[in-house]
Amino acid sequence: MKRVRSSRPELEGIAPYDAKQMRAEVRLAANENPHNLPGEILDKLADRVRQDMEFNRYPDPMCSYLRELIAEANGLEPGNVLVGNGGDELLLDVVLAWGGPGRSLMDLPPTFSMYGIDARMTGTHLIEIPRLSDFSIDATALLGTIADRDPDVVIVSNPNNPTGTMAPETLLIDLLNATDALVLVDEAYFEFSRQTMRPHMERHPNLVILRTFSKAFSLAGLRAGYLLANADVITELTKVRQPYSVNRFTQAAAALTFRERMVFEAGISETLRNRDRLMHAMSAMPQLEAFPSEANFVLFRIPQASAVWRDLLHDHSILVRDFSRTPGLEDCLRVTVGSCEEVERFVAAMDEITTNKQASDHFGVSATASRHMARE
Ligand SMILES: *Cc1c(COP(=O)(O)O)cnc(C)c1O
């Protein structure tokens, strides 16, 4: 044969996920921890590799040791915990097990794009309840649509990526009371918001909480995340998961990191202080609106956002995330709260860009056009 049969029709409208990884000196596009693992943890990990890590053997499928550590820290049993190859894998497992053809997933855009991608690729019907203009949840539409359409899974990113918005706890409780659908509260930024739905798990067997090692814990490159849920839910998820998805090295690194998680507290506090500094600096910039955030990133709106994104990258080697083509996020960029130096570089660059912009706007020429003229 000289041809390939076409793939499933559901895939036709899907664009491959593009993480937009580009070369830049200052990388503030993916909400990672600006620092690598602390030296003590790297040393212990290196010792483990040399002493007894059998790369020739399959890893423990259920990550038993890490599972016990996470369960104990959250006052749960190991059967209430599922570890995955990043939170992304666990999200797909949830949609594989609770979604599928003839079933529906509800989310609250603008939000984390993987929810919609997972729904589409599994043939799950997607029900979207757009957020209000301040990115808070439209409670009336949410609860009304739960009653009318009875979705099978509801996913709430809390705080919401990319807006930084927190859902009121009372609204999430109303949601849990209104449905027996699986309600997944994505707490990928829990270490920054310090707010969790964990206390409501006992009363609500349909509540699932997602966390990750990729953001506060410096392990984005190794892929580890976990779910907290009722044991029967975990059992269903183990039916669809890839048995060996979390490799030995990642299990060891995540366990060491979780055991030593107190050492990350200083970095988390530094991030929260840097976020305040960043918000303060941005509040003084003309034509820029920064939205309050409970996470390690800040979403902001600025005229000609795509041109600003390009100037940050080309003139300052700073990479942020461009959301300006996402519905509801017109003219919005998202910047990760980096180290002190990174925040300073970003603020200095934005000062320069917004000052130039204002000057050129004054003469009736667009900022980008005037810079191009200056270059020519
Ligand atoms: C980063 C993130 C995740 C998971 O990331 P992983 O690296 O796959 O663990 C999940 N949800 C949200 C909202 C995120 O921002």
Q: In what order do the strands lie in the sheet with 297-301?
A: 289-290, 297-301, 332-336, 321-322
The pLDDT value given to residue 17: 78
Q: In this model, does residue 318 exceed pLDDT 70? A: yes
Residues 223-234, mean pLDDT to the nearest whole number: 98
Q: Whose CA is nearest to atom 1 of ligand 1?
A: 188
Residues 36-51, mean pLDDT to the nearest whole number: 96
User: CB within 6 Å of ligand 1 — which residues?
Assistant: 31, 86-88, 112, 157, 161, 186, 188, 212, 214-215, 220, 225
Give the Å distances, CA to CA, from 178 to 26, 165, 184, 292. 45, 22, 14, 29
Other residues' Cβ atoms within 10 Å of the Cβ of residue 24: 16
Residue 374: band (very low, low, confident or very high) from pLDDT cuts 50, 70, 90: very low
Q: Whose CA is nearest to atom 4 of ligand 1?
A: 87
Q: Which atom of ligand 1 is nearest to the CA of 91?
A: 10
Distance 104 CA to ligand 1 centre (A): 21
Q: CA-CA distance, 312 to 356, in Å (whole number)?
A: 13
Distance 34 CA to ligand 1 centre (A): 16
**Residue among 83, 212, 219 to mutate when testing ligand 1 (max atoms within 8 A of CB):** 212
Distance 361 CA to ligand 1 centre (A): 38
Q: Whose CA is nearest to atom 14 of ligand 1?
A: 188
Q: Whose CA is nearest to atom 11 of ligand 1?
A: 188
As a whole number, the mean pLDDT across the chain is 94
Which candidate, 351, 213, 217, 237, places its Cα nearest to that of 286?
A: 351
Query: Are the CB atoms for 349 and 315 separated by under 8 Å?
Result: yes
Q: In this model, does residue 275 exceed pLDDT 60? A: yes
Query: Are the CB atoms for 94 and 184 separated by under 8 Å?
Result: yes
- Who wins on pLDDT, 363 or 295? 295
The pLDDT value given to residue 47: 97
- pLDDT tens string 52-110: 999 999 999 999 999 999 999 999 999 999 999 999 999 999 999 999 999 999 999 99
The pLDDT value given to residue 362: 56
Residue 10: band (very low, low, confident or very high) from pLDDT cuts 50, 70, 90: confident
> What single letter denotes the amino acid at residue 168?
P
Query: Helix, strand or coil for residue 205?
Result: coil
Q: Which atom of ligand 1 is nearest to the CA of 30?
A: 1
Residue 11: band (very low, low, confident or very high) from pLDDT cuts 50, 70, 90: confident
Give the CATH architecture of domain 39-259.
3-Layer(aba) Sandwich (3.40)
Task: Work out whether strand 289-290 and strand 225-228 pair parallel, antiparallel, or are unpaired.
Answer: unpaired
List, by residue range, all CATH 3.40.640.10 domains of the chain: 39-259
**Residue among 113, 114, 156, 297 to mutate when testing ligand 1 (max atoms within 8 A of CB):** 114
Q: Whose CA is nearest to atom 12 of ligand 1?
A: 188
Query: Helix, strand or coil for residue 299?
Result: strand
DSSP state of 258: H
Residues 6 or more apart whose CB falls under 8 angstroms from that of 358 comprise 286, 287
Give the CATH architecture of domain 23-33+264-375.
Alpha-Beta Complex (3.90)
The pLDDT value given to residue 363: 54
Query: Are the CB atoms for 224 and 243 separated by under 8 Å?
Result: no
Which candidate, 256, 251, 193, places its Cα nearest to that of 226?
A: 251
Residue with tokens 């209430």: 80
Return the structure tokens found at 57: 């053997």
Query: Are the CB atoms for 137 and 131 separated by under 8 Å?
Result: yes
The pLDDT value given to residue 18: 77
Return the structure tokens found at 66: 């890490």
- Whole-prediction pTM: 0.94
Distance 220 CA to ligand 1 centre (A): 9
Q: CA-CA distance, 98 to 72, in Å (whole number)?
A: 27
For residue 360, the surrounding DSSP H or E stretch is helix 340-362
The pLDDT value given to residue 323: 98
Q: Whose CA is nearest to atom 2 of ligand 1?
A: 188
The fraction of the chain above a pLDDT of 90, given in percent, is 90
- pLDDT tens string 159-192: 999 999 999 999 999 999 999 999 999 999 999 9
Return the structure tokens found at 65: 């040791």
Distance 126 CA to ligand 1 centre (A): 20
Burial environment of residue 2 by CB neighbours within 10 A (0 to 12, 13 to 18, 19 or more): exposed
Give the Å distances, CA to CA, from 94 to 22, 24, 239, 347, 368. 31, 35, 11, 39, 44
Residue 141: band (very low, low, confident or very high) from pLDDT cuts 50, 70, 90: very high
HEC letters along 110-127: CCCHHHHHHHHHCCCEEE
Q: In this model, does residue 375 exceed pLDDT 50? A: no
Query: Helix, strand or coil for residue 67?
Result: helix
Distance 315 CA to ligand 1 centre (A): 29
Residue 261: band (very low, low, confident or very high) from pLDDT cuts 50, 70, 90: very high
> What single letter denotes the amino acid at residue 302?
I
Query: Are the CB atoms for 156 and 182 separated by under 8 Å?
Result: no
Distance 108 CA to ligand 1 centre (A): 16
List, by residue range, all CATH 3.90.1150.10 domains of the chain: 23-33+264-375
CA distance from start to end of the chain: 54
Q: CA-CA distance, 253 to 49, in Å (whole number)?
A: 10
Distance 310 CA to ligand 1 centre (A): 25
Q: CA-CA distance, 76 to 248, in Å (whole number)?
A: 24
Residues 6 or more apart whose CB falls under 8 angstroms from that of 173 comprise 200
Distance 32 CA to ligand 1 centre (A): 10
- pLDDT tens string 325-344: 999 999 999 999 999 999 99
